[in-house]
Structure 1
Amino acid sequence: MRKFKVMAITLVISLLLSTVSTFACTAVYVGKEVSTDGSTIIARSEDQGTGAYNKLFVVVDRVENVPGRTMDDVNGFSYPLPATTYQYTMVPDYSEAGDGPYPGACTNEYGLSISATVSASPRPEVEEADPFVEGSLREAVLTGIVAATCKTAEEGVDLLAETIETYGSEEGNVILLADQKEAWIFEVYSGHLWAAQKMPADKVAVFGNQFMIDAVDPADTHNFKYQKDLFTTADKNGWTKKENNLVNLAATFGEAREDYSNMRTWMGHKLLSPSSVGDYATNAYYPLFYKPDAKVSALQVMDVLRNRYEGTKFDASLPGNEELRVIGVERQSQIHVIQIREDYPQEISALQWLAMGNAEHSVFLPNFSGITDTYEAYKVDGEFYNENGAYWKFKRICTLAEQNRSFYGQGVRDYWNFYEEQLYAQMQNAEKEMVTLYKKDPQQAKKYVTDLHRSIAQKACKDADHLYDQLLFFVMDRYGRTAAKLGNPFVADISLRDAAAAKGYTVKWAGNGTPIKITKGNTVYSLTIGEDLCIVTKNGKSTEIKLEYVPTVKDGVTYIPLNFVMTI
């Protein structure tokens, strides 16, 4: 993600948070041969310099044969678009942010997905020799340019290379691109120097704000692309760092390793391949790609992007670790996990999981790339809090939960984890329906995925509103109490029918004060509105379970405690 755009803001932040870099974002890659479902996964958290930063989610329509258009940045850069541009989704800033659109993550109609960027800095002498070009290409527009004009990841690489060599780059960036065939990582080292690598299908990667392409054989033009003078420039200036007779581009062009970024890179390695990484070392050049110890699912990638170094001596909840730059930072604005399937129809070949707010206490919601519109809450614009906006609905829960991660936050995390697991299972059925429909009628398939996106988002927003109301009351009710009188930690409630469906139970209720019976096989749970005892009958023998709190009805929906649901 970006550096701060205004010097005054940079100065204020540096004074307030002197140990925190102005760079942000963490990226994840999973090759299709090592993912649990055979999908290629690219993912990234978009982190900001402030805690409240509204993000939208929209569809940009295809434009046919309209010449003379440009894609413009606020820094004066203007890119001439072809007469026909492609449909794509994007996750832009709110319109009043004033620093360009920042599309964030895009999926287009030709099966190309792009995530940009992870900001990174070159060595000072590299920037001095080839300075960044003011008024040239920035993160603010590059994602949209590629999504609007390219059909494959390699086309995107070539377009970025041509654009940087023609106009220059204003900043150092790391970009991920993937299609149904292959995936690439693209690094911008200076005003005109760049390199790209085809990402191996049998490896994974996680990295913070640092250049990562390591051992490169300049003769391997199948797996690498680079600016024609890249290696000669390094040799001429004495920058070249080699590893087993191969050029290590990260060491050659990148700034020295530091904890701010390198610790996140190490932690990602430790999460996905603990057998191949040791204790953390600040100066270590951890490999970009490595084999995971087991196949990796999209759900695991979501958890990587939530990580706060739990289980290590760097755990951010431990005293003295408060200032460490974690992966799951509170300043995340949108976090995406994009799965690209080679066996899907091209127009709907990507399944994007999108979380608004902070991944730690928010939820990833799915949408297929063939959608023609987005749910209305994703389009609520503006800088300030608006309860109708999707970003704000989820962000406000994060803000409350993070006041006390163990007492408030754990119940929120449990709720959204359960929610995601059900959505993940639902998408496996949805993708089959989508593919079947597409074979009969592509337009019906696109309508199906659009309607599915809207229904999931609408329900999630409604459920988020209920969760927020419940958590806010819980926090208010305990405000001012001593620790000894706080009682039990927060437990979210959940729709009884959602819970029963997820667990494979049927629900019967006659109303009028009668017990609600949820049944599977020879097991029956009987609950009564307003009573905290549940009668469990198995094989004719009954026992009692005391609930965390009584089942309630709100707006026609019956709610029960989540911790009870987890036991059935």
Structure 2
Amino acid sequence: MSCTTILVGKNVSYDGSTIIARNEDSADGEFTAKRFVVVHPDEQPRQYTSVISHLSIDLDEEYSGQQPMRYTAMPDAVQKQGIWAEAGVNAENVAMSATETITSNERVLGADPLVEYAPAVGHQGEQGYHAEVPGGIGEEDMVTLVLPYIHSAKDGVRRLGALLERYGTYEMNGVAFSDVDEIWWLETVGGHHWIAKRVPDEAYVTMPNQLGIDEFDIEDAFGEQESHLCSDDLREFIESNHLDLAVEHESLFNPRDAFGSHSDSDHVYNTPRAWFMQRYLNPYDEVWDGPDAVHTPMSDDIPWGRQPERKITIEDIRYLLASHYQGTVYDPYGTQGDDRTRGMFRPIGINRNSQLAVLQIRPDQPESCRSLQWIAYGSNAFNTLVPFFSNVDGTPEYLESTGARVTTENFYWANRIIAGLCDHAYAGTANAVESYRQKTGAQGHRIVAATDEQVARLGASDTSTANGEVRGILEAANQAIAEELKKETDALLNGVLFTVSMGMRNGFRMSDN
């Protein structure tokens, strides 16, 4: 699956939070309806079998009898290919987002092939019969297999890394973990190998479907492991397969050169997204446009992470993960450029965005209300991003009840309808969409602040996520946010439908009245 990720270290977020955010995008020609749910320990599978790879894992055995925790998730509404839990926060305020599909090269995949499912050949008992061979784990599986069992971001890296080494993977993926102190980013390397790096507190990271880490301290990974982790035999894997492409070895190892791709298609599909995000967050640090540009949309050396020029807000993240190259000649809805440039590059806010999860772990709040899961459904160019507390026993029906049937009674399908209408009348509906975003976003911030105050007034000594009274308060807040959201979404749909209907080609100015 194609996706876009932004990771924000705690020293450069607006309130000291760690923030991990990712668009989940469906494959070309597909649209995937999503739900927001809470998975309780008794609902967590103990004998897990992947739909895509037919791999079965005994989770009680894998985790030595450790009991799973409650966690939020964003599964597919129609699970024809499995759960695809995608993103959530567990009861200990550890967040996980999985996965960002990334790229590799022939040298890596030849040295450590992906572990793909092989179906049975023939019939059992007949000559030439071959039993099926299960594949490894993938995006379908990772959140379900890892998030309920981890106690920190670094623990998440180690847990997932162990699964990758044991079972392998059938795809190249990037995975984000966060807690109140740290963010870690893991990238798979071939079928069984992986690397992970701690996001510096003073930096943000942009990931546009490419293997991204561009500096890796192997000595730290095999030593103190303060900011780097990797599979146990990574050093030998690199050396025996001649993967290190550095001419001089005075600098840190570059995984992007060794493990990543360098294709022409990257310059259409991937690098332009990193260029636009960093151009927005660091507009004055370098020249981004014209013949003197330091980095262009087709540059292969756009940094994995950098320090922003100002602190990053939730609204910045929403803007970037909804963006389509506004203010440039590449904007498909813009007036600059021409037919050749508009639509030249793959937008971030694309028609097949399924859901956006922004996972915010706030250090200035007690454990019981520390984590927020900001949610958007459908095409981000035409939707809104709203917050929900994660320490709850259930989610509002408006976000949970998504099914295959198209209906305005749930948030996913209402947004899909709005986007389909607005796309054909962008200029006439853009102001209405922006007003909707601002109003719903402000309502979300207001209700979150009021709820934080209500929790603080309890004065309870038990500030852990096990506090049932607090969970009831948070559920009520989530319901209030959902009710306001439905009211404003219905109003936007009404206004957009009127605007688009007035522009229909079969209209006629003479009235019958």
Q: 1:190 to 1:102 in 2, by over 3 A?
A: same
1:61 and 2:61 matched: no
Do the aligned partners of 1:207 and 1:262 also contact (CA within 8 Å) in 2? no
Deviates more, 1:132-141 or 1:430-439: 430-439
Do the aligned partners of 1:47 and 1:332 also contact (CA within 8 Å) in 2? yes
Higher Rg: 1
One-letter identity of the residue aligned with 2:55:
F
Counterpart in the other structure of 2:445: 424
Do the aligned partners of 1:377 and 1:389 also contact (CA within 8 Å) in 2? yes
Determine the C-alpha separation between the residues in 2 that align with 1:203 and 1:47: 25
Find the partner of 2:238 among 224, 234, 237: 234
Counterpart in the other structure of 2:436: 415
Per-residue CA deviation, residues 229-278 of structure 1 (Å, 9 max, x unaligned), is 22332232222133752110011101115221111111111111123343
Counterpart in the other structure of 2:47: 70
Q: CA deviation at 1:480?
A: 1.9
Per-residue CA deviation, residues 336-371 of structure 1 (Å, 9 max, x unaligned), is 111111233334321111011122211112111111
Determine the C-alpha separation between the residues in 1 that align with 2:77 and 2:398: 13
From the two aligned structures, give the one with the greater strand fraction.
1
Using structure 2 for the length normalisation, give the TM-score. Answer: 0.85
Q: CA deviation at 1:415?
A: 2.1
Q: CA deviation at 1:51?
A: 5.8
1:253 and 2:278 matched: no
Do the aligned partners of 2:14 and 2:312 also contact (CA within 8 Å) in 1? yes
| 2:489 match: secondary structure | helix
Determine the C-alpha separation between the residues in 2 that align with 1:378 and 1:423: 15
In the TM superposition, 1:73-472 aligns within 5 A as: 73-74=50-51, 75-82=53-60, 83=65, 84-95=67-78, 97-134=79-116, 135-220=135-220, 221-242=225-246, 244-256=250-262, 258-259=266-267, 260-277=269-286, 278=288, 279=293, 280-317=296-333, 318=337, 319-320=339-340, 321-437=342-458, 439=460, 442-472=467-497
Determine the C-alpha separation between the residues in 1 that align with 2:505 and 2:230: 60
One-letter identity of the residue aligned with 1:147:
L
- Higher RCO (CA < 8 A, seq sep 6+): 2
Counterpart in the other structure of 2:123: none
Q: CA deviation at 1:153?
A: 0.8
Determine the C-alpha separation between the residues in 2 that align with 1:296 and 1:433: 27
| 2:98 match: secondary structure | strand
Q: 1:460 to 1:31 in 2, by over 3 A?
A: same
Q: 1:426 to 1:349 in 2, by over 3 A?
A: same
Determine the C-alpha separation between the residues in 1 that align with 2:74 and 2:154: 22
Determine the C-alpha separation between the residues in 2 that align with 1:217 and 1:314: 37
Q: CA deviation at 1:216?
A: 1.4
Runs of 4+ deviating beyond 6 Å = none
Per-residue CA deviation, residues 8-36 of structure 1 (Å, 9 max, x unaligned), is xxxxxxxxxxxxxxxx1100011111111
| 2:312 match: secondary structure | coil
Per-residue CA deviation, residues 390-442 of structure 1 (Å, 9 max, x unaligned), is 21022211111111211123322232223213422442332232344373662
Determine the C-alpha separation between the residues in 1 that align with 2:449 and 2:146: 29
| 2:48 match: secondary structure | strand
Per-residue CA deviation, residues 36-87 of structure 1 (Å, 9 max, x unaligned), is 11111100111112463210111001349x9x92232102122322341100
Determine the C-alpha separation between the residues in 1 that align with 2:237 and 2:155: 25
Q: 1:56 to 1:409 in 2, by over 3 A?
A: same
Q: CA deviation at 1:217?
A: 1.9
Counterpart in the other structure of 1:475: 500
| 2:85 match: secondary structure | coil
Determine the C-alpha separation between the residues in 2 that align with 1:369 and 1:379: 14
In the TM superposition, 1:33-48 aligns within 5 A as: 33-48=11-26
Determine the C-alpha separation between the residues in 2 that align with 1:155 and 1:39: 19
Do the aligned partners of 1:241 and 1:249 also contact (CA within 8 Å) in 2? no
Per-residue CA deviation, residues 208-245 of structure 1 (Å, 9 max, x unaligned), is 00011111121122110011222332232222133752
Do the aligned partners of 2:4 and 2:23 also contact (CA within 8 Å) in 1? yes
| 2:218 match: secondary structure | coil
One-letter identity of the residue aligned with 1:295:
K
Per-residue CA deviation, residues 97-138 of structure 1 (Å, 9 max, x unaligned), is 411111111111011001111101211121111101122111
One-letter identity of the residue aligned with 2:47:
T
Do the aligned partners of 1:256 and 1:283 also contact (CA within 8 Å) in 2? no
One-letter identity of the residue aligned with 1:414:
S
Do the aligned partners of 1:328 and 1:359 also contact (CA within 8 Å) in 2? yes
Do the aligned partners of 1:207 and 1:268 also contact (CA within 8 Å) in 2? no
- Which stretches in structure 2 are left out of the alignment for 5+ residues? 117-134
Deviates more, 1:236-245 or 1:323-332: 236-245
One-letter identity of the residue aligned with 1:156:
G
| 2:284 match: secondary structure | helix
Determine the C-alpha separation between the residues in 2 that align with 1:241 and 1:410: 50
Using structure 1 for the length normalisation, give the TM-score. Answer: 0.77
What is the root-mean-square deviation of aligned Cα atoms in Å?
Answer: 2.2
Determine the C-alpha separation between the residues in 2 that align with 1:170 and 1:347: 37
Determine the C-alpha separation between the residues in 1 that align with 2:150 and 2:256: 27
Determine the C-alpha separation between the residues in 1 that align with 2:502 and 2:327: 32
Q: CA deviation at 1:155?
A: 1.1
| 2:440 match: secondary structure | helix
Deviates more, 1:435-444 or 1:463-472: 435-444
